[in-house]
Amino acid sequence: MGAKQDTHSKVIGYLLWIFGFLGSHRFYYGRPVTGTIWFFTLGLLFVGWIIDLFLIPSMDREADLRFTAGDIDYNVAWILLTFLGVFGVHRMYQDKWISGIIYLLTGGLFLIGVLYDFWTLNEQISLKNASAD
């Protein structure tokens, strides 16, 4: 087995943790179910959010093992999704131009597409990176 791949960043994880009571860091590390729970409960009434401060290193290690590194950078894609998701820029970054333009014209397919991407972006990138080998 080759060198350890570093698909996700602790720095980005901690930056997203600042807004983590909305689940952003959990989505980033590939935990959409608990990310959604955090979103609707404000990080389990902030208790889970505080505990996550100490769990981020292990979530980062797990994400590095679960997802495939490659040409598409997870950090760039997540920043684009988080801040420009309704414009489809994260999809264009992955060479998904048609859906990116559809997102641009429809506000992220009426925000449902953006929510879908929060749930599946890590898998989308991992598949794209694996198919590039």
Q: Which token pair is 111?
A: 């925000």
* Same-domain pairing of 44 and 100: no
* Same-domain pairing of 20 and 46: yes
pTM for this structure?
A: 0.90
Can you tell me the mean pLDDT for 73-91? 95
Domain boundary among 50, 66, 82: 66
* Same-domain pairing of 93 and 56: no
Q: What is the pLDDT of residue 1?
A: 47
Contact 84, 132 (CB under 8 A): no
Q: What is the pLDDT of residue 3?
A: 56
Q: How many CA atoms lie within 13 A of 98 on its CB side?
A: 0
CA–CA distance, 111 with 132 (Å, rounded to integer): 29
Contact 8, 60 (CB under 8 A): yes
- Domain region containing 106: 70-133
Task: Give counts: helices (H), strands (E), the chain.
Answer: 8, 0
Can you tell me the mean pLDDT for 47-61? 96
DSSP 4: P
CA–CA distance, 133 with 130 (Å, rounded to integer): 6
Per cent of the chain over pLDDT 70 is: 96
Q: What is the pLDDT of residue 21?
A: 77
Domain boundary among 46, 66, 86: 66
Best CA proximity match to 59, nearest among 37, 26, 82: 26
Residue in this structure with the two tokens 């100490």, named with its chain if needed? 54
